Amino acid sequence: MTVQAVAHRGYPKKHPENTLSSFLTAVELGFTHLELDVHLSKDGIPVVIHDHTIDRMTNGTGRVVDYTASELRSFQMEQDEHIPTLDEVLHALKGKIQLNIELKQMGHYYPELEERVLDVITNHGMLDEVVITSFDFDALEKVRRLSSDVRIGLITFSCSKAILQWSHEVHATFLSMHYGFVTDLYIQQCKEQGIQLMAWTINEPSIMTTFLAYPSVWICTDELERFMDVLEPSTPL
């Protein structure tokens, strides 16, 4: 079964989020896309983790940026997992699933994050398998200056005409929006402008059902198997 949806950080309800086991389970379940988060280590290596600190996900403490990639790998996570590098993840997933790579940039917190992430993507020959997203306008504009080929998209809560105008100006063809702000009009406007709209993060079956009425909108979820049940309900015995 092919599941046209986005696995949020892999399958965080079954495995530690943003880890290889979490990502590979999404692949095994047939999901077409997954979302992951990228920071930069002390030695300038893109690493896959959501928070700016390692406290929540590992047995260590402190900021991601204060450790080398090797040091980050040494911290323990549940299920014997570790913080992977973006290079590890792309090596494992190339040709298996499309990737939404979120840059966890804040202003210029990571001065070379955009360059380093693009280098890894390019080295794996995966420009056509990824979209780079961020809440940070400047980060996405920098990515566009560095590459005219890679897909980019803003992450946002609002649904304003200004976002659509900005997307047109920087040739952004993806938009990630909190599901509570998605409207019928905005769905239509994105379709007319050639923007792929993704609604995040939808975990309740009733809301999944609502959005399945809009096939042009991708659903991003933590609840992979729950979504599969809504998509294709099991036949009672």
Give Cα separations from 213 to 183, 209, 231, 235 (angstroms): 13, 7, 11, 21
CB atoms near residue 234 (< 10 Å): 7
Instruction: Give the C-alpha separation, 171 to 164, whole Å.
Output: 10
Contact between 164 and 183 under an 8 Å Cβ cutoff? The reply is no
- Of 8, 15, 33, 39, catalytic: 8
Instruction: Give the C-alpha separation, 82 to 19, whole Å.
Output: 7
Q: Is 8 tagged catalytic?
A: yes
Q: Is 39 tagged catalytic?
A: no
- Element spanning 130, H or E: strand 130-134
- Of 15, 33, 39, 50, catalytic: 50
Annotated catalytic sites, by residue?
8, 50
